[in-house]
Each structure stands twice: as structure tokens, then as C-alpha cells.
Amino acid sequence: MVSAKKVPAIALSAGVSFALLRFLCLAVCLNESPGQNQKEEKLCTENFTRILDSLLDGYDNRLRPGFGGPVTEVKTDIYVTSFGPVSDVEMEYTMDVFFRQTWIDKRLKYDGPIEILRLNNMMVTKVWTPDTFFRNGKKSVSHNMTAPNKLFRIMRNGTILYTMRLTISAECPMRLVDFPMDGHACPLKFGSYAYPKSEMIYTWTKGASGKEIFLLNETLAKKKKNGIV
């Protein structure tokens, strides 16, 4: 696996570690005085840029974490922000969600005082991400106003958090025997498009209550009971 490398562009002795380099750069930024000149500020920014670039030095985003070794586990959870409409004619439902995925990529481990690298969506294209798709989805839209609604975080131990805002329309098989008093459970099935289970698996995030999924089913049942849909 590829770990963080030293930054060759900075003229330091060979004994200076990558962790110390991060610490020195952080100290420069945190101890800025009002009178610090722009040249020093520019140097600090450039140093952080080099550090971030070093994480990707030799990184191949075509290969999943643990390629040729253990299965890649992707932990997921969903926060439903709105649900509906539900169509009994088309037998489908629509909902807005925050879809969160977490996995560990040891190639992105780093040392230093910064616990979390908070990055924008531009970093998503530079590292490996799960090729998740919704198996019973009819149409899924990723929101892009005013910029792609995506959140990307890298922790020191290589843990990745990737969150995106989606609008999903998915199939919901309905057995209408007591319309409109029927109650239905609408599943949302997802998985990897290219990887088999022997290489990548999905698990529900430990500690997630499942409230979001319960609300999805409960809301649909209430709407049916009240004759809203």
C-alpha cells in the first residue's frame, strides 16, 4: 500500500519527518501576526498544497483499497430530508436524501496535527470512490446548485467520509387489495455496479438507528391510510 511520502520540493534535511513538516507549516499559519507579509502567507499555502499533493503521489484511483487482499467494506447510512410523491399508478416513490458512505483507504493515511482534511468535491475525482448504484432505482439526480452538493473528508487513519445530496425515484411494488387503506414497505436497494461481493460489501453504519428508513415506510403508510396518495 502507498503511504504518505516526504515532500521533496522543500529544502529540508533528510532527518526532518513528514509529520514535523506538517507541524511546522501549521505553526506558521496559526502564529500569523497582523504584520506578517504576503510572501510568508503564500509560502504557507504552497506548503499545504505540497503536503496534500504528496498524499496522491503514486496513488492509483483505478484500484480499490486493499486490491488483491481483503474485501473493501463500505459503511452506509441515509438521512431522508423529504419523502414523496408516491405514485400507486407507476408504483414508485421519490425522496430527497443525504447519502453517506465511509470506508478505509490506507493509502491515504498521513501523520500530523490535523485530524481531518476537509476537502471539496474536486478531490472526489482524484481518489477511489465506491461505484454505488440503486438496484431498484428508476432515476437518481445528484444536486449541483450552486456547486456539486458533495462533502469529502479524509481522517488521519485513512478513513474516508463521502456524502452527497440526491433525489431518488425508485420502484415500490404495491399489492393494492384495500386501496387506499393499504400499507406498503418501499425498499431502497443498492450495491456495487462492478465489484462482486468477494471484493466489496456494504454494511449499515454501526450505531445508526434505522429511523430514517422507518420513517420512509411509516410516511407511506400514513399517506395511504389518510387517502393522500
Q: Are residues 82 and 182 in the same domain?
A: yes
Stronger pLDDT, 51 or 209, i.e. the higher one:
51
pLDDT tens-digit readout, 53-107: 888 899 999 999 999 899 999 999 999 999 888 888 888 999 999 999 999 999 9
Residue 12 counted as domain residue: yes
Same domain, 136 and 203: yes
Q: Inter-axis angle of helices 38-56 and 18-30, to 10 degrees?
A: 150
Residue 187: partners with Cβ closer than 8 Å, 6 or more residues away = 136, 170, 172
Is residue 158 left, alpha or beta, with left meaning phi > 0 and alpha meaning psi from -120 to 50? left
The amino acid at residue 80 is V
Residue 63 in any domain: the answer is no
- List helix spans (H) across the chain: 18-30, 38-56, 211-225
Residues 31 and 87 in one domain: no
Q: Are strands 72-87 and 200-204 parallel, antiparallel or unpaired?
A: parallel
Examine the domain organization and report whether 112 and 44 are in the same domain: no
Mean pLDDT, rounded, of the chain: 76
Return the pLDDT at 17: 41
Do 189 and 221 lie in one domain? The reply is: yes
Fill in the amino acid letter for 71. V
- Report the alpha-carbon distance of residue 127 to residue 123 in Å, rounded: 7
DSSP classification of residue 223: H
Instruction: Give strand ranges (E) for 88-220.
Output: 92-104, 116-119, 132-134, 137-142, 150-155, 159-171, 190-192, 200-204
pLDDT tens profile 5-45 = 443 433 333 333 444 444 444 444 445 455 556 665 665 56
192 lies in the same domain as 93: yes
- Give the total number of structural domains in the chain: 2
CATH number of the domain to which 200 belongs: 2.70.170.10
pTM exceeds cut of 0.75: no
Q: How much is the average pLDDT of 190-200?
A: 94
Task: Show the domain range for 25.
Answer: 1-58
